[in-house]
Amino acid sequence: ETGVTQTPRHLVMGMTNKKSLKCEQHLGHNAMYWYKQSAKKPLELMFVYNFKEQTENNSVPSRFSPECPNSSHLFLHLHTLQPEDSALYLCASSQDNPLAGGQETQYFGPGTRLLVL
């Protein structure tokens, strides 16, 4: 596989469930990102990992818990979500340190469409 892959592509969960989203990049990049895209809203950056270290957490509620075991894999663990968390969750990666300018082009996965009932 090439590029950035995400699984699952669709997820329906209840508010008491625990689930995880997975992202894998095959580009040899060092930085990975989670974004949330809600209807009629711009992409919202949630988390940034650079060389496996979390460098950004944009005031995301603790019911979203990221994990980056290595530079190629990124997880988003979900628990006790709310219906308003229903959205498209996009993972992205870029070559270099986002703190060194934040201007490396980001490559996106296809997203996970999440519905919280």
Partner 1 sequence: DQQVKQNSPSLSVQEGRISILNCDYTNSMFDYFLWYKKYPAEGPTFLISISSIKDKNEDGRFTVFLNKSAKHLSLHIVPSQPGDSAVYFCAASAHTGNQFYFGTGTSLTVIP
40 binds partner 1 (CB under 8 A): yes
How many residues belong to the site for partner 1 (CB under 8 A)? Answer: 26
Q: How far is the CB of 111 from partner 1 (least distance, A)?
A: 5
Q: How far is the CB of 16 from partner 1 (least distance, A)?
A: 29
- H or E stretch at 36: strand 31-37
Q: Site for partner 1 (CB under 8 A): which residue of 1, 2, 28, 42? A: 42
110 binds partner 1 (CB under 8 A): yes
DSSP string, 4-44: EEEE-SEEEE-TT-EEEEEEEE-S--SEEEEEEE-TTS--E
Q: Give the three-state DSSP class for 71.
A: coil
Residue 14 to residues 11, 29, 57, Cα–Cα distance (Å): 10, 34, 25
Q: Site for partner 1 (CB under 8 A): which residue of 64, 68, 76, 106? A: 106
28 binds partner 1 (CB under 8 A): no
* Closest to 25 measured CA to CA, from 55, 54, 2: 2
Name the residues that contact partner 1, by CB under 8 A. 4, 6, 9, 40-43, 45, 48, 55-56, 58, 90, 92, 98-99, 101-103, 105-111
